[in-house]
Amino acid sequence: MIPLVTGWLSEHWFELLAAAVSAVDVWLATRRSMISWPVTILASLLYAEQFRESRLYSDMLLQGIFVLFAIYGWWHWWRGLKAEGAVRVVVPGWSSLLRDVALGAVASVLLGYWMRHFTDASLPWLDAALTGASLVGTWWGARKYIANWWLWIVVDVIYIGEYVFKGLNLTAGLYGLFVVLAALGLRDWRRALAGQRA
């Protein structure tokens, strides 16, 4: 039994490290912690390499964009923290949400086309669609939109299937945890929003 475990760990240690850092990252985001942003950067860099090895190039590209969004989110949350004393939750208007979803859909189609015709990407269309939706979710999180948690629940459920199909079972398990954490984030951000309104 121990040789099986040590063999598995030696083969999957990098994926395990990336998964652990990512889990801490999402948990910190549910707590509206400023530390979540540098942890996001580290998790994104680790998963960029994992996805490169798995030929999930849209996901790899997404990790680089996550780094840029993390820098923006860190700055935006810090600016709000200094001005208001706490990271405030925002409920955006429907027009903002629809605009962002439309932009994410356009990005998904363009990226999917590129990946399908110019790379050896595995699952180019699904990977691109999830990347587009993840960009929207990351943008909403950086803007402190409570809707980001609803989107992450849906996207993470679909990611679970993709990663099981690709044999990234540890990452699929991590995304199962992400679904739970997103539900907790939604609950905690709703409470914070109720406190703001009170």
Q: Where are the domains of the chain?
A: 2-197
Which of 21-30, 83-92, 104-113, 142-151 bottoms out in mean pLDDT, i.e. has the lowest?
Answer: 83-92
Q: How far, in Å, CA of 20 to CA of 177, rounded?
A: 11
Is the predicted pLDDT of residue 8 greater than 80, yes or no?
no
- Residue 171, pLDDT score: 85
- Six-digit token pair at 149? 């948690």
Judged by phi (left if over 0) then psi (alpha if -120 to 50, else beta), residue 85 lies in left
Q: How far, in Å, CA of 69 to CA of 40, rounded?
A: 9
Name the residue among 118, 194, 108 with its Cα closest to residue 155: 108
pLDDT tens, position by position, 84-140: 566 788 899 999 999 999 999 999 999 999 999 999 988 999 999 999 999 999 999
Judged by phi (left if over 0) then psi (alpha if -120 to 50, else beta), residue 55 lies in left
